[in-house]
Amino acid sequence: MIGDTIAAVSTPPGKGGVALLRVSGPGTLQVLGAVFRTGAGKALSDPEPRRAYYGTIRTPGEEEMIDDGIAVFYPAPHSFTGEDVAEITCHGGVLVTRTVLCALLCAGARQAEAGEVTRRAFLNGKLRLSEAEALGTLLDAATEQQRRLARSGLNGNLSRAVQALYDRLCTVLASIYAKIDYPDEDLADLSGAQIRTMLSEVLCDVQRLGATWQTGRAIAEGIPTVICGAANAGKSSLYNRLVGYDAAIVTDIAGTTRDVLQESAVVGELLLRLCDTAGIRQTEDAVERLGVERSLRAIEEAELILCVFDASRPLDAEDEAVLKKLAGASGKKAIAVWNKADLPRAVNAALPQGLFAREYTISAATGQGLAALEKGLEGLYLDGGCAPQDGILTNARQYAAAQKAKEAVQSAVAALQSGMTQDIAGMDLELALSALSEVDARGVSADITDAIFHRFCVGK
């Protein structure tokens, strides 16, 4: 509930040099005064804003100090949450930190729920929703690219791009409504032709924004990718190369990989959610057969398929079975990887036309050709990609909102082109505005914001 005063440990649980606790809400000064005494022994009830005070921390009503530390007071609205906030730094022992938190609760604060601190920042207008999501991505970032992407969102680049589209649509809509409401007066800023031109431009930009999801997703979420192919083609060897360590067992015994292995692999700027699979072959071995079934399912669920062929031997029935499976899997990007380039080539047939977006020749054993494969994969998703200063969509929720906005603007453009009255286009544009406003949650339902903030941990 906004309005009460919350407290939480903001540093991760466990032992550290220091721990930081945050208090936020109207009772912050009272809580601070009750637990913190300055070096001179006075309760810190009237601190200077943003000044660091050294002092001691106590449970209210007790003389024995828990620890010494630093307190800083940030008065509303110039704080992270927009409310009065106090930050107390103590020594980072598990028990010390927990006891200081208990003292804050004794002084009248309530334990914050997961994500509640950030939620307050959002509700008080200190952080837009896409920025809050970017903060979550930043805290979870495991790759440099994810960090950069999250930083771009947190700097407000997506928010600004969406706001600019919103403002342009508002201008068009205002002109349309002026014409409809006051047909006899010359109130509209834009002529009919100008409205059509401006809407077409906005449509291009909304489409461009939607297209950034390809890059955003490739970096933030990763592309579901499967490595498939005949037994002993070198799937596990390629998997290990891409993952960067020996995650899968490599032997020349066919049928070694029986389960689907999964790891994330950073390929240039791209993140692959990579699966190594069992070869697809007829087998009497019950366990291997289950593995083959799982491989087939993994191919169905993947978006990118790296299909490995052994270039040192002619294509055989097992390769044919893989090709048949791929021919039936539509809507995926398939890449042919000719492996074992270090051995004499003995390929007897070309691959079927149109099945593979690209072909690469590599040696998973020596590493030859891998850089070109990685560059090619990266280009497949990130070519013509976005600069970090662009607004980039980084999750499915934002993408869905951008798509809705695109369809509504498309419909408005079509309505005007087919000579329908402007109020029809006006209704579409209202839908587009409402969809755009969802990106930063002006109008997003409480359920969705709940789902977003619960992903944060307590203290964030």
| Residue (251 or 417) nearer to ligand GDP, CB | 251
Position 369 contacts ligand GDP (CB under 6 A): no
Instruction: Report, in Å, the least distance between residue 231 CB and ligand GDP.
Output: 5
| Residue (220 or 233) nearer to ligand GDP, CB | 233
| Residue (24 or 363) nearer to ligand GDP, CB | 363
Instruction: Report, in Å, the least distance between residue 239 CB and ligand GDP.
Output: 7
| Residue (155 or 256) nearer to ligand GDP, CB | 256
| Residue (242 or 432) nearer to ligand GDP, CB | 242
- Name the helix (H) or strand (E) containing 42: none
| Residues forming beta bridges with residue 111, ordered by sequence position | 7
Q: What is the 3-state secondary structure (H, E, C) of 71-88?
A: EEEECCCCCCCCCCEEEE
**What is the DSSP code string of 309-364?**
EETTS---HHHHHHHHHHHT--S-EEEEEEE-TTSPP---SPPPTTS-SEEEE--T
User: What is the total count of residues that contact ligand GDP (CB under 6 A)?
Assistant: 21
- Strands across the sheet with 270-276, in order? 261-267, 270-276, 223-229, 304-310, 333-339, 358-361
Position 97 contacts ligand GDP (CB under 6 A): no
CA–CA–CA angle 111, 114, 117 (5° rounding): 75
| Residue (126 or 235) nearer to ligand GDP, CB | 235
351 in the Ramachandran plot: left (φ > 0), alpha (ψ -120 to 50) or beta?
beta
Cα 44 to the center of its chain, rounded Å: 41
CB atoms within 10 A of CB 51: 9
What would you report as the CA-atom Rg of the chain, rounded to the nearest whole angstrom? Answer: 29
Q: Which range binds ligand GDP by CB under 6 A, 171-179, 358-366, 392-400, 433-441?
A: 358-366
Instruction: Report, in Å, the least distance between residue 455 CB and ligand GDP.
Output: 36
Position 251 contacts ligand GDP (CB under 6 A): yes
Cα 228 to the center of its chain, rounded Å: 27
Among 8, 209, 299, 364, binds ligand GDP (CB under 6 A): 364
- Name the helix (H) or strand (E) containing 271: strand 270-276
Residue 2 is classified by DSSP as B
Position 257 contacts ligand GDP (CB under 6 A): yes
CB 186 within 8 A of CB 204: no
Position 260 contacts ligand GDP (CB under 6 A): no
Position 236 contacts ligand GDP (CB under 6 A): yes
Which residues in 6-65 contact ligand GDP (CB under 6 A)?
none
Position 365 contacts ligand GDP (CB under 6 A): yes
| Residue (214 or 232) nearer to ligand GDP, CB | 232
Which residues in 274-293 contact ligand GDP (CB under 6 A)?
279
Among 343, 346, 371, 451, binds ligand GDP (CB under 6 A): 343
* Nearest Cα residue to 120 out of 71, 162, 83: 83
Position 298 contacts ligand GDP (CB under 6 A): no
| Residue (279 or 391) nearer to ligand GDP, CB | 279
Among 339, 361, 395, 398, binds ligand GDP (CB under 6 A): 339
- Strands across the sheet with 53-58, in order? 36-38, 53-58, 65-74, 85-92, 16-24, 6-9, 110-111
| Residue (56 or 236) nearer to ligand GDP, CB | 236
Q: Which residues contribute to the site for ligand GDP (CB under 6 A)?
A: 229, 231-237, 250-252, 256-257, 279, 339-340, 342-343, 363-365
